[in-house]
Amino acid sequence: MSNKGYMSFEDFQKESFKNNPELEKAYHDLDQKYEIISNFIKLRNELNLTQKDIESITGVKQESLSRFESGNLKNVSLGYLSKLIKPLGYKINLSFEKV
């Protein structure tokens, strides 16, 4: 707790997760989702491509890509991700880590 009486975000998380393992799991599941999205946006920016450019290259509609990048596309599959990155010359690299 800070000296102004406010709880830090880390303390808030610990307190929120303490008796609610379902909330903690849901939070960490979103971490993975947004890490994937962030990595794709970073790649797209490094390649200096717009969403319209991606549509032209991959055939994935710009509207779908926009929903994906904003986190509003439900049920993103490995197939969808492959369709986005393979035409750009990249592949998906998955790893497993003990939690």
Q: Which of the 8 DSSP states describes residue 53?
A: H
Helix/strand/coil for 74: coil
pLDDT number for residue 53: 97
How high is the pLDDT of residue 62?
97
> Which contacts qualify for 30-33: CB closer than 8 Å, 24 or more apart?
33/71, 33/76
pLDDT band at residue 2 under the 50/70/90 scheme = very low
State the residue for tokens 């797209």: 44
- How many whole angstroms separate alpha carbon 39 and alpha carbon 75? 18
Which among 88, 93, 95 has a CA at the least distance from the CA of 41? 88
Q: Structure pTM?
A: 0.71
pLDDT at 51 exceeding the cut of 50: yes
Q: Tell me what the pLDDT averaged over the chain comes to.
A: 87
**Residue 3 in this model has a pLDDT that exceeds 80:** no
* Helix, strand, coil % over all residues of the chain, rounded to 5: 65, 0, 35
